[in-house]
Amino acid sequence: MIMGKKGADFKALHHGDGAFIIPNPYDAGTAKLLEIAGFKALATTSAGYAFAAGQADNNISREDMISHAAVIVAATTLPVSADLENGFYDDPKEVAKTIRMAADVGLVGGSIEDSTNDGRDAAQYDVGFAKARIMAAVEAAKAAPFPFTLTARAENFIVGNPDLADTITRLQAYQDAGADVLFAPGLTQAEDIETVVRNVDVPLNIVMGLSGVKLGQAELGALGVKRISTGSALSRAALGAFMRAATEMMEKGTFDFAEDAIPFSEINSFFTPDVTLEETGR
């Protein structure tokens, strides 16, 4: 019953007015903080977790990524979707298995991308094979014992193939395959986003938190976007502050960075049971 409600609530978020923000925590602590902040759903980040584990993106095994997602699920009462990269294997049967593993740990959604992740530029699966992979993922998602939202990603703009027409062709193929949500990471221009929205019939996810891109929630909602994720942005923001502090200590021998750090008592209070932002005065 709980999972059924989580799954249904998550699907419903994609069909409300405007766009909702689904931020991406990278560990249990950040998941808890985002729930306290008031967000309605969370999504994992493959890159954020990889960085926290001291690895580059796309170097985490399926088993480790699913285990990490289970940690996020356990840390929050919110619906959680997962960045499942390309399903971790080429074979559609393995992609379907990835979705089943995701549902087994309490995830109510997951994304599958069409990048081969083999280190080559513009390395995307042939659109026909990519569609077959999404069809396998959709079949597994529909077999879950609760509503499971399947997101299909066209990776053109982040693998060196910024072809908007091909992006749309791919997204339409994945829509035909039964994907619940579509996602084309790397779109940064309002006119491109609006063009994609006009050419698909299911909710579109856009990733924000990109340097130099100033599109906000209201503007993206007006363009027809339904979901806004942040990818590795929160992780990179935290790591940026960490590296600036490390550089200050190493180069200057000073500790001024502590002036911007959240006070110990405040952050500690966030992790006491049933704390809300209002109760901490934030």
pLDDT in tens, 70-88: 999 999 999 999 999 999 9
Does residue 190 contact residue 217 with C-beta atoms inside 8 Å?
no
pLDDT in tens, 129-153: 999 999 999 999 999 999 999 999 9
Sign for the CA dihedral angle at 219, 42, 182, 126 comes to positive
Q: Tell me the domains of the chain and their CATH numbers.
A: 2-232 (3.20.20.60)
Distance, in Å, from the CA atom of 35 to the CA atom of 33, rounded to the nearest integer, reads 5
| pLDDT at residue 275, as a whole number | 53
Which residues 6+ apart lie within 8 Å of 215 measured at CB? 188, 190, 193, 206, 208
Residues of the chain scoring pLDDT < 70: 1, 119-122, 274-282
Mean pLDDT of the chain: 95
